[in-house]
């Protein structure tokens, strides 16, 4: 499925098979998660994609060939491919262990054709083994919703009372991690979204309510996954002294002005950008220990536009995942819904 221009629907296309270059793998795609970042690209809010573009960066698949000097994986190995697709390894950010800020970084499904396809090529350094306990469909959301959510949680510090604003793919994963760590989770959902409220409570949140209403207690930290800048002043007002508020999306609407007094008392407002390979290794080792359970709804690849529209309207519970024709995906039926 190909994007030709911003705000155009994706179109089905027959493309030449990618050729794995030096250090690259050719991967048969078995499942690809649908991310809000994909939506920002399609809607033109992230405005520098390569075009035409095959989106998708939560990829689970099997290695079917390797390019020259690629030796980390063998043919048949199952790998996950996330958003970060390449870094230069030599800039000041990479040398400081902050490759997520590399100024020359290239991203899967943005600078590099991604997983809304049957085949994709990946630099083997940016592919990761998938934990054996996760079927393909359930593994796909771990590769961005999980990884970015995990990085956001770490940057928020170790506060006990954690607020999650926007209970979608990332929050439904990170809620489980936070509860596993002994935190108390307060979920903030869209006004009137009773299904999201119940979903949060089912996953261990001790309270779930309207995003625009006050929290029942002061928060030690908050993660804002919804791309709505108006949530930032509310999260600051709900926070305790010294709290950290993390804006966890790659794009957000403008943050309205707010009085300095709600930032004072050493509250911290920060963002999260991308991920590092260390984040991926740490989170993919942690997920089975929690254990994280992902709930997914499944769409055929040629229905990618429908999946994006459901995400745009806030109708996806958990995460949406695309399945290419002919993919022999293994599933965990109790957490898969066909749409």
**Mean pLDDT along residues 144-149:** 97
CA nearest neighbour of 248 among 232, 271, 268? 271
197 and 172 in contact (C-beta within 8 Å)? no
165 and 69 in a common domain:
no
* Tokens found for residue 323: 């399945």
* Residue 252 covered by a domain: yes
Q: Which of the listed residues 246, 271, 296 is the one where a domain comes to its end?
A: 271
Would you state the pLDDT for residue 337?
Answer: 57
What mean pLDDT is reported for the chain? 95
For residue range 47-104, what is the model confidence (pLDDT) as tens digits?
999 999 999 999 999 999 999 999 999 999 999 999 999 999 999 999 999 999 999 9
133 and 163 in a common domain:
no
In the predicted model, is pLDDT for residue 262 greater than 80?
A: yes
| pLDDT confidence tier of residue 213, bands split at 50, 70 and 90 | confident
* Tokens found for residue 73: 């994986």
CB atoms within 10 A of CB 48: 8
CB atoms within 10 A of CB 272: 22
**Mean pLDDT along residues 19-47:** 97
198 and 89 in a common domain:
no
In the predicted model, is pLDDT for residue 326 greater than 90?
A: no
For the chain, give the number of residues.
Answer: 339
199 and 185 in a common domain:
yes
293 and 262 in a common domain:
no
Q: Which of the listed residues 225, 242, 271 is the one where a domain comes to its end?
A: 271
**Mean pLDDT along residues 241-245:** 98
Q: Which of the listed residues 250, 271, 292 is the one where a domain comes to its end?
A: 271
Give the bridge partners for 65, in sequence order: 26
* Residue 216 covered by a domain: yes
Which residue segment(s) compose the domain that 69 sits in? 24-141+275-338
* Residue 9 covered by a domain: no
Cis peptide before 291 (omega within 30 of 0): yes
For residue range 165-197, what is the model confidence (pLDDT) as tens digits?
999 999 999 999 999 999 999 999 998 899 999
Would you state the pLDDT for residue 329?
Answer: 67
49 and 29 in a common domain:
yes
For residue 40, the domain's CATH number is 3.90.180.10
258 and 174 in a common domain:
yes
Would you state the pLDDT for residue 335?
Answer: 60
153 and 116 in a common domain:
no
Angle between helices 169-180 and 145-155 (to 10 degrees): 50
137 and 279 in a common domain:
yes
**Mean pLDDT along residues 258-287:** 97
Strand, helix or coil for residue 321: strand
| pLDDT confidence tier of residue 330, bands split at 50, 70 and 90 | low
* CA distance linking residue 170 with residue 157, whole number of Å: 17
| pLDDT confidence tier of residue 212, bands split at 50, 70 and 90 | confident
Q: How many domains does the chain have?
A: 2
Lowest mean pLDDT among 98-107, 145-154, 222-231, 320-329: 320-329
In the predicted model, is pLDDT for residue 230 greater than 60?
A: yes
**Mean pLDDT along residues 18-40:** 97
* Residue 4 covered by a domain: no
* Tokens found for residue 86: 């390449």
For residue 227, the domain's CATH number is 3.40.50.720
Q: Which letter does DSSP use for residue 282 in this model?
A: H
137 and 28 in a common domain:
yes
49 and 135 in a common domain:
yes
In the predicted model, is pLDDT for residue 247 greater than 80?
A: yes
* Residue 8 covered by a domain: no
In the predicted model, is pLDDT for residue 205 greater than 50?
A: yes
Instruction: Please state, for a pLDDT cut of 70, what percent of the chain lies above it.
Output: 96
Quote the strand ranges of the chain, DSSP E: 24-34, 59-66, 78-81, 84-86, 106-107, 119-123, 128-129, 161-165, 184-189, 207-210, 219-224, 239-247, 268-271, 296-300, 319-323, 336-338
Phi first, then psi, for residue 188 (nearest 5°) are: -115, 120
Would you state the pLDDT for residue 333?
Answer: 46
Strands 296-300 and 336-338: parallel
Phi first, then psi, for residue 269 (nearest 5°) are: -115, 120
331 and 263 in a common domain:
no
Angle at 306 between CA 303 and CA 307, to 5 degrees: 90
* Residue 41 covered by a domain: yes
Residue 297, H or E segment = strand 296-300
* Residue 52 covered by a domain: yes
DSSP assignment of 177-200, as one string? HHHHTT-EEEEEE-TT-HHHHHHH
1 and 117 in contact (C-beta within 8 Å)? yes
**CA–CA distances in Å: residue 34 to residues 116, 178, 190, 213, 299:** 9, 23, 20, 29, 10
* Residue 15 covered by a domain: no
């Amino acid at each position: 499925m190909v994007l030709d221009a911003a705000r155009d629907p994706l179109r089905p296309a027959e493309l030449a098979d990618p050729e794995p270059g030096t250090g690259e793998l050719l991967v048969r795609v078995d499942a690809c998660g649908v991310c809000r970042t994909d939506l920002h690209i399609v809607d033109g809010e992230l405005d520098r994609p390569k075009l035409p573009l095959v989106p998708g960066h939560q990829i689970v698949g099997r290695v079917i060939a390797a390019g020259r000097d690629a030796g980390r994986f063998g043919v048949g190995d199952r790998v996950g491919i996330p958003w970060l697709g390449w870094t230069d390894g030599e800039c000041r950010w990479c040398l400081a262990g902050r490759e997520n800020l590399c100024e020359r970084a290239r991203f899967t499904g943005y600078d590099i054709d991604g997983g809304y396809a049957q085949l994709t090529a990946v630099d083997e350094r940016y592919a990761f083994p998938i934990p054996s306990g996760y079927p393909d469909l359930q593994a796909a959301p771990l590769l961005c919703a999980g990884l970015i959510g995990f990085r956001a949680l770490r940057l928020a510090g170790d506060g006990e009372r954690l607020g999650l604003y926007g209970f979608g793919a990332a929050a439904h994963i990170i809620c489980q991690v936070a509860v596993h760590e002994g935190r108390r989770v307060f979920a903030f959902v869209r006004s009137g979204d009773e299904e999201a409220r119940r979903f949060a409570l089912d996953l261990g949140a001790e309270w779930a309510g309207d995003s625009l209403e006050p929290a029942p207690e002061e928060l030690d930290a908050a993660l804002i996954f919804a791309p709505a800048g108006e949530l930032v002043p509310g999260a600051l007002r709900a926070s305790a002294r010294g709290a950290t508020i993390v804006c966890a999306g790659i794009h957000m609407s403008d943050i309205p002005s707010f009085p300095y007094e709600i930032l004072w008392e050493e509250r911290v407002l920060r963002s999260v950008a991308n991920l590092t390979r260390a984040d991926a290794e740490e989170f993919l080792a942690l997920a089975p220990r929690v254990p994280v359970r992902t709930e997914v709804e499944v769409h055929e690849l040629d229905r990618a536009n429908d999946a994006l529209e459901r995400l745009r309207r806030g109708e996806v519970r958990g995460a949406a995942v695309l399945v290419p024709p002919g993919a022999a995906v293994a599933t965990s039926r109790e957490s898969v819904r066909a749409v």
